[in-house]
Structure 1
């Protein structure tokens, strides 16, 4: 039986900024006990100061040793009811013919293997308890191609297949697999990282229309997690009103 409602213990990866940070806040405000994980512990500590039901935990999801240590910690401190696999990122807008192998490798390690590593590690904890939830935050890039985006769309398609296939493999068990696929979300760092710190390029991504905010995605995650136990939100695609596709955005004055 999937445990739903408040006071569940939920792990959020990539919790130091953007969608992850907003998700920690949202789940904490809904009454859940949140394990906020990311590499930048000082940001997590600030969340823990703001919410008594938030536990900061430094974690690099590309490290086998750190993920193993996290699971040992969770086992020793009360188990787990759910995970939000949010950590990820994009680099560049390379064409296939000149794609940067190191950048593509970094994206695969973080978005795909990082999500796989965490999911494999926590699945036994969810099975040992009363069941639980695995949320995978992908992207509309997991559902459509666009020029210059093969590196990112490739890893997000792979992450989507990870969650979709897992849902089929464990159907009948009390574990729900939920995919949340955001369109353009204006956060502090996503586009800055993609464009190697070029603030001007990052800003242009969101000019001329109203993009989503991290709170919009966090609200959707919180809603999906709090559905009754017999309800599984397989997939939620969330875009700004003015975005019909990754390359089709109605911009004004740009």
Structure 2
């Protein structure tokens, strides 16, 4: 056990993919966990797994739709007293709907991506950072994307939301520079998780085709980097990290074997 033992980590979107993998990696380090997602049944199953395996950690689950500011505020205010002091906030929850060109993007898809990827991240940061500032300690880790570094056809709105996360992360870093708080952004390239299936409306075959003939990242790859970032000494801040599988050089530049 190291620097993260006994720390309290708040993770959004913890019911699957990178969020779930982060929960497992932080649990290995002896961190206490606040796990949030809309699918609380999955969270409860994960809680049972982790508390059964790591006897010294406390895991609290919250059914939370981060598009709803009131739900966020109530969830943070309602945390057990032993978990109220959040040491690490992992803003992981996000989604992408569709691959439509801009002129065909549906209003509902636009709204849900901005509400989840941007507004939810902002609301949660607003709910937790004041307590971190008051205590003089804390780390905000935002899950960005290569889509926040470059745009591509069929991803106009998703790229816009992740460019917003990039800007928010950089601005927050500047705003908190005179405090001990740290702000980091981890930006994955191709990662094969449930996230991709959601993009194609639940069509797993279409999602799998994206990764045909190449070895993408998996959720655990990013989770290990998130935990490494959180575990640096207090004077070290990994502000921004772009992570590709070795077969990728840009959002749409990859090498395939078949």
Q: TM-score range by the shorter chain?
A: over 0.9
Give the corresponding residue for 2:21: 22
Give the corresponding residue for 1:155: 161
Query: 2: CA distance between counterparts of 1:150 and 1:219?
Result: 29
Give the corresponding residue for 1:120: 126
Give the corresponding residue for 2:179: 173
Of residues 196, 200, 203, the one that matches 2:201 is 196
Give the corresponding residue for 2:93: 87
Of residues 236, 239, 242, the one that matches 1:234 is 239
- Please say if residues 176 and 182 of structure 2, whose CA atoms lie closer than 8 Å, have aligned partners that are also in contact: no
User: What is the total number of aligned residue pairs between the two structures?
Assistant: 250
RMSD: 1.4
Give the corresponding residue for 1:164: 170
Give per-residue Cα distances to partners, 1:137-170, cap 9 Å, x unaligned: 0111000111111111000001111111011112
Question: SS in structure 2 opposite 1:35?
Answer: strand
Question: SS in structure 2 opposite 1:74?
Answer: coil
Q: CA deviation at 1:75?
A: 7.0
- In the alignment, structure 2 segments of 5+ residues that lack a partner are 52-56
Query: 2: CA distance between counterparts of 1:102 and 1:66?
Result: 21
With normalisation by structure 1, the TM-score equals: 0.95
Stretches of 4+ aligned residues off by more than 6 angstroms: none
Query: 2: CA distance between counterparts of 1:72 and 1:44?
Result: 20
- Please say if residues 89 and 111 of structure 1, whose CA atoms lie closer than 8 Å, have aligned partners that are also in contact: yes
- Please say if residues 22 and 214 of structure 1, whose CA atoms lie closer than 8 Å, have aligned partners that are also in contact: yes
Give the corresponding residue for 1:48: 47
Give the corresponding residue for 2:223: 218
Give per-residue Cα distances to partners, 1:65-85, cap 9 Å, x unaligned: 211112212373442111000
- Please say if residues 74 and 80 of structure 1, whose CA atoms lie closer than 8 Å, have aligned partners that are also in contact: no
Instruction: Give the stretch that moved more between structures: 114-123 or 61-70.
Output: 61-70
